[in-house]
């Protein structure tokens, strides 16, 4: 039940945020500083999400060798400017193989 509320609220909320962009006049973000700040929100969040997904299990630290190895190889792929598909496959393959070993 809670999951359904979350799914529907996320769906409605995300769609509303998109529609909002077409409704507000462009001058709202005319100040470059304001726009820059809004553009930086996902940067901070992604930085946090990467860490949480890499080293956390719920609310405790969990350093899983397979996950970290896969993430590291994926990270090298990103650094080498590999296409998104290569990054995803390299990370999955590495973690899967380490788990097999």
Partner 1 sequence: MRRDAVGVGLAVGAYGFAFGAAAVSAGLSVFQACVLSLAAFTGGTQFAVVGVVAGGGGAGAALASGLLLGSRNTLYGMRMAPLLRVRGPRRLLAALGTIDETTAMAQAQQTPALARSAYWWTFGGVYAFWNLATLLGALAGSIVDPIRFGLDAVVPAAFLALLGPRLRSSKLDRRIALAGAVIAALLIPVTPAGVPVLAATAALLLAVRTRGQAS
Binding residues among 16-55 for partner 1 as defined by CB under 8 A? 17-22, 24, 26, 28-29, 32-33, 35-55
Helix (H, G, I), strand (E, B) or coil at 57: strand
To which H or E segment does residue 101 belong? Answer: none
Q: How far is the CB of 96 from partner 1 (least distance, A)?
A: 4
Cα angle 29-34-38, degrees, rounded to a multiple of 5: 90
Q: How far is the CB of 72 from partner 1 (least distance, A)?
A: 9
Contact map string, positions 55 to 74, toward partner 1, x by CB under 8 A: xxxxxxx--x-xxxxxx-xx
Q: How many residues bind partner 1, per CB under 8 A?
A: 81
Question: Any residues with CB less than 8 A from the CB of 77 and at least 6 apart, and which?
Answer: 86, 87, 90, 91
Q: Assess 85 for contact with partner 1 (CB under 8 A).
A: yes
């Amino acid at each position: 039940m809670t999951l359904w509320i979350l799914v529907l609220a996320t769906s409605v909320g995300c769609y509303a945020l998109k529609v909002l962009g077409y409704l507000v006049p462009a001058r709202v973000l005319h100040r470059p500083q304001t726009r820059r700040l809004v553009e930086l929100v996902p940067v901070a969040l992604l930085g946090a999400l990467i860490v949480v997904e890499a080293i956390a299990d719920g609310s405790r630290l969990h350093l899983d060798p397979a996950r970290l190895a896969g993430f590291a190889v994926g990270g090298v792929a990103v650094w080498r400017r590999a296409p998104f598909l290569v990054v995803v496959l390299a990370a999955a393959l590495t973690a899967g193989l380490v788990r097999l070993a």
